[in-house]
Chain A
């Protein structure tokens, strides 16, 4: 079984400050890792994904994440946030080579950017 933990339910940050959203996962098999963003009343949009290769992954809107296998983490970072980054962020995993590639999501982190 797999699980995802996002310890921070809400992260307040001032505009232009750096931010890190934490994600830890548990799995007995190799996984793919994803970060999705959800704006109010909208579906999920993929920010970035780790499938294999370089552990530092760059995504859209200036976000990046680093896969750390030993710590089973996949934290999301941005060096300077904007008001428009205010949204809910979800970390997710799926089994590498799994039959369905279904996503297991964390409970989400609300990034609240303040002016």
Chain B
């Protein structure tokens, strides 16, 4: 079956632009996670959804970062007024148990 998909795979933004990153989880997966992976680092937790409820957003680095999952399936991570330090790979994962299934990520480059 289909895995987790993310779009776009690559995004180049000028500093100050807003971006929106999409995640399509595996069908039926209740839990959805967003992680940020800086170059040469391990992924770091951003936020967690259970169905449409955002239960944990403790990892969001600033109020410029916003995530939503309005119908409990597709999720969007939005970054407003992008800064160079936002350059990273953004990974989405979904799960129904202890195992998280990861998408290929979106590589965001802010110039």
Contacts and interface: CB of A to CB of B under 8 A. Distances in A.
Interface in A23-53: 32, 36, 41-46, 49, 51
Contacts of B45: 102-104
B42 A32 contact: no
B56 A102 contact: yes
A100 interface: yes
B4 interface: yes
Interface string A101-115: 111111110000000
Contacts, number: 57
Contacts of A60: none
B43 A102 contact: no
B61 to A, nearest CB: 15
Nearest to B56: A100
A43 B48 contact: no
Nearest to B43: A105
B86 to A, nearest CB: 19
A29 B102 CA distance: 25
B35 to A, nearest CB: 8
A86 interface: no
Interface string A64-92: 00000000000000000000000000101
Contacts of B102: 36, 43-45
Contacts of A90: 42-43
Contacts of A42: 104-105
Contacts of A101: 31, 95, 98, 100
A51 to B, nearest CB: 6
Given A43-B4, A90-B42, A99-B56, A32 B98 contact: yes
Interface of A: 4, 32, 36, 41-46, 49, 51, 90, 92, 94, 99-108
Interface of B: 4, 31, 33, 35, 40-45, 48, 55-56, 59, 91, 93, 95, 98-105
